[in-house]
């Protein structure tokens, strides 16, 4: 018999290709799915198929899609189809007029939010869209929030080249951003994204710069009764020669010391990417030397990086053996100022490289600072006296905290103490709980102060470490941790601190589960995913009873299959296309499988045995 192996292989390949062709022919095209959506907007299966396309590919706003969406919005169906909006990107030029009409004529939040994102992503941010985009920074919808964050720019991104120009964006848009930051109240995580708009902004138009200066002065006059200082000049990081000349003219003509102070911050930042020369610094230093710096808000600047500051504090605090020395930390802070700081009146005497170093010490944080501090503490014994002293100092710093109106020195020192106490607690959380559970310790005050840090401190290291300290404390009110988690999971840059803090939580899991289940009323797939991981850990570590386990299984079973569970789970937004990873439904199903565990397998095997009988 001849060898037909190769021929059989060809027949098999042909059969597989034919099967693939049949499957493709049966699969509905994207165009057909959109047409089906018009015919029946309540068809969940059809919406799921469109979402699945968005998960693995991209959904462009083509003319056909735009016309269909326009028709459905006119029929009042925008709430039903809004789950598709985060996936829709890149409008073609011919549909931009339709998108513009959505933005200007509709008051519905869903379509207005989408149109603001589409118009901004297609060109650049513009003045009428600012309020909408900033509002999206607070959204529970992860993908819409990420797209809004990307417009302002992610704070973690290492920007070394400008990608935006003030000559293109214009003074009205820039003024709107400044007003939002300086006049309106926003949480730190929102302010951080808005302010990061300036990180890669090239100041290249002297006319726009001068007009902005005039508008800022008018804004200052309108807000003269407010305690909040209007700042503008301290965000300049990329310039050309023409702008430098305008800066110097503004500085020479201004009688307001706050303008000179803010320009000092910008010039310190400009040294980081060599945007100014040694000669430019000398020119500015001459003016600074004759400026009345006693009117400056900032009197002191650090001359050591955060790691060196922590080392300095450890060397001085860890030798303390008395918990009743009320003057120790006053003396220590004086020592910090005299030995590792420079006074503002001395800055004009420093050279270009020294100013560059001082800038990095005060405006930049080290990577992996938490792990670095833990490494420092490896060979150090954490005593109860040491922990008590550090907590006392921390309470002092948190009490004196003044939000964004605080000085850079105070904000940094508060952050450093939070980081050090947090590292000590990670090393020995028992001592921390022993102190905070003491009858003479004001635990309620500590909780309130840490919540204030978590919600309002402008530095993410401080917010993250405040969460760790809240987590490690014995709580009588489970909502403290639940609310803290909701705050923390909004921020990509502090997510790592939730991973550190959650294992330190000492709560009754059965009661904690009820609070967590009640908190799952938002749109965020990321939050639901993170909470499902907590549920899984509770069950696998046998920390909950059968009632608690039943509640979790019931929640998971109810959510799996729901349309809202089809949302993607991912933590960042890097480009116009969202890098989807997986759906919430998949992750909930994985959690359900893990939680069912052996009991689920046993039930399944029993059913098999019965069927055999």
Query: pLDDT tens digits for 151-176?
Result: 887 655 667 888 889 999 999 999 99
What pLDDT is recorded for position 541? 76
User: Among residues 474, 468, 486, 459, which one has the least CA distance to residue 426?
Assistant: 468
Better-scored residue on pLDDT, 79 or 523: 79
**CA dihedral of 270, 273, 277, 281, whole degrees rounded to 10:** 30
What pLDDT is recorded for position 281? 95
Asked if 195 and 209 count as a contact pair (C-beta separation under 8 A), the reply is no
pLDDT (average), residues 457-475? 91
Most confident of 144-148, 299-303, 326-330, 569-573: 299-303
pLDDT tens-place string over residues 435-458: 999 999 999 999 999 999 998 898
CA 501 to CA 499: how far, in whole Å? 6
Indicate if the pLDDT at residue 469 is higher than 90: yes
Confidence class for position 465, pLDDT limits 50, 70, 90: very high
Asked if 530 and 498 count as a contact pair (C-beta separation under 8 A), the reply is yes
Confidence class for position 460, pLDDT limits 50, 70, 90: confident
User: Worst-scoring range by mean pLDDT, 213-217, 218-222, 596-600?
Assistant: 596-600
CA 316 to CA 234: how far, in whole Å? 34
Cα angle, residue 250 at apex, residues 245 and 254 outer, rounded to 5°: 155
What pLDDT is recorded for position 72? 92
High-pLDDT (> 70) share of the chain, %: 86
Please state the φ and ψ torsions of residue 458, each to the nearest 5 degrees: -70, -15
Better-scored residue on pLDDT, 241 or 325: 241
Better-scored residue on pLDDT, 38 or 55: 38
pLDDT (average), residues 78-100? 91
Confidence class for position 358, pLDDT limits 50, 70, 90: very high
Q: Could you count the other beta carbons within 10 Å of the beta carbon of residue 320?
A: 17
**CA dihedral of 246, 249, 250, 253, whole degrees rounded to 10:** -160
High-pLDDT (> 90) share of the chain, %: 37
Indicate if the pLDDT at residue 514 is higher than 90: no
What pLDDT is recorded for position 7? 47
Most confident of 96-110, 441-455, 590-604: 441-455
Indicate if the pLDDT at residue 596 is higher than 90: no
CA 234 to CA 270: how far, in whole Å? 10
pLDDT (average), residues 72-83? 90
Confidence class for position 421, pLDDT limits 50, 70, 90: very high
pLDDT (average), residues 554-559? 89
Better-scored residue on pLDDT, 599 or 256: 256
What pLDDT is recorded for position 127? 93
Asked if 361 and 301 count as a contact pair (C-beta separation under 8 A), the reply is yes
pLDDT (average), residues 231-255? 83
What pLDDT is recorded for position 163? 86
User: Among residues 458, 576, 500, 497, which one has the least CA distance to residue 121?
Assistant: 576
What pLDDT is recorded for position 104? 92
Q: Please list the residues that pair with 300 across neighbouring strands.
A: 343
Better-scored residue on pLDDT, 579 or 223: 223
Better-scored residue on pLDDT, 543 or 59: 59
User: Among residues 177, 105, 180, 120, which one has the least CA distance to residue 151?
Assistant: 120
What pLDDT is recorded for position 600? 46
pLDDT tens-place string over residues 264-305: 999 999 998 889 999 999 999 999 999 999 989 999 999 999
CA end-to-end span of the chain, whole Å? Answer: 47
pLDDT (average), residues 230-256? 82
Most confident of 24-33, 129-138, 576-585, 587-596: 129-138
Beta-carbon contacts of 534 under 8 Å, excluding residues fewer than 6 positions away, are 502, 516
Name the average pLDDT for the chain: 83
Confidence class for position 608, pLDDT limits 50, 70, 90: very low
pLDDT (average), residues 465-477? 88
Indicate if the pLDDT at residue 610 is higher than 70: no
pLDDT (average), residues 468-482? 84
Confidence class for position 419, pLDDT limits 50, 70, 90: very high
Write down the pTM of the prediction: 0.82
Better-scored residue on pLDDT, 368 or 349: 349
DSSP 405: G
What pLDDT is recorded for position 540? 81
């Amino acid at each position: 018999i001849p060898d037909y192996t190769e021929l059989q292989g060809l027949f098999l390949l042909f059969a597989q290709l034919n099967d693939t062709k049949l499957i493709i022919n049966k699969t509905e095209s994207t165009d057909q799915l959109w047409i089906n959506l018009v015919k029946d907007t309540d068809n969940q299966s059809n919406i799921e198929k469109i979402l699945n396309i968005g998960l693995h590919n991209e959904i462009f706003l083509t003319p056909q899609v735009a016309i269909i969406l326009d028709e459905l919005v006119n029929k009042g169906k925008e709430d039903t189809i809004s789950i598709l909006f985060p996936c829709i990107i890149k409008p073609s030029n011919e549909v931009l007029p339709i998108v513009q009409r959505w933005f200007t004529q509709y008051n519905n939040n869903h379509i207005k939010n989408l149109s603001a994102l589409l118009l901004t992503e297609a060109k650049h941010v513009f003045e009428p869209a600012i309020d909408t985009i900033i509002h999206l920074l607070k959204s529970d919808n992860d993908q819409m929030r990420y797209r809004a964050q990307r417009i302002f720019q992610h704070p973690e991104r290492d920007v070394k080249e400008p990608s935006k120009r003030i000559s293109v964006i214009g003074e009205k848009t820039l003024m709107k951003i400044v007003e939002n930051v300086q006049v309106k109240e926003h949480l730190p995580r929102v302010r951080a994204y808005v302010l990061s708009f300036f990180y890669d902004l090239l100041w290249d138009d002297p006319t726009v710069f001068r007009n902005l200066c005039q508008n800022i002065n008018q804004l200052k006059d309108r807000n003269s009764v407010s305690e909040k200082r209007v700042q503008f000049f301290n965000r300049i990081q990329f310039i050309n020669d023409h702008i430098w000349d305008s800066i110097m003219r503004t500085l020479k003509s201004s009688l307001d010391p706050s303008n000179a102070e803010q320009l000092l911050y910008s010039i310190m930042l400009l040294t980081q990417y060599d945007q100014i020369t040694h000669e430019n610094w000398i020119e500015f230093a001459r003016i600074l030397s004759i400026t009345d710096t006693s009117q400056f808000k900032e009197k002191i600047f650090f001359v050591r990086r955060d790691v060196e500051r922590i080392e300095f504090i450890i060397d001085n605090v860890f030798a303390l053996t008395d918990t009743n020395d009320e003057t120790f930390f006053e003396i220590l802070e004086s020592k910090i100022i005299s030995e590792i700081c420079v006074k503002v009146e001395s800055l004009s005497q420093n050279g270009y490289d020294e100013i560059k170093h001082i800038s990095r010490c005060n405006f930049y944080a080290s990577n992996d600072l938490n792990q670095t501090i833990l490494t420092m503490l490896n060979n150090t014994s954490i005593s109860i006296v040491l922990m008590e002293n550090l907590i006392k100092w921390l309470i002092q710093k948190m009490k004196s905290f003044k939000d964004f109106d605080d000085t850079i020195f105070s904000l940094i020192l508060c952050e450093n103490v939070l980081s050090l106490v947090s590292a000590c607690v990670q090393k020995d959380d028992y001592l921390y709980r022993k102190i905070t559970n003491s009858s003479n310790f004001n635990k309620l005050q500590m909780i309130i102060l840490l919540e204030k840090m978590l919600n309002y401190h402008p530095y993410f290291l401080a917010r993250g470490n405040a969460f760790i300290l809240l987590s490690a404390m014995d709580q009588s009110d489970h909502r403290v941790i639940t609310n803290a988690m909701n705050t923390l999971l909004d921020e990509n840059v502090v997510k790592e601190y939730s991973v550190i803090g959650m294992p330190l939580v000492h709560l009754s899991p059965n009661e904690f589960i009820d609070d967590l289940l009640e908190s799952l009323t938002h749109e965020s797939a990321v939050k639901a995913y993170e909470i499902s991981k907590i549920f899984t850990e509770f069950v696998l570590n046998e920390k909950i009873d059968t009632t608690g386990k039943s509640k979790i299984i019931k929640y998971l079973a109810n959510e799996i299959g729901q349309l809202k569970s089809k949302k993607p789970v991912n933590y960042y937004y890097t480009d116009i296309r969202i890098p989807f990873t997986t759906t919430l439904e998949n992750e909930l199903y994985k959690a359900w499988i893990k939680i069912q565990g052996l009991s689920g397998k046993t039930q399944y095997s029993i059913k098999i045995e019965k069927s055999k009988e």
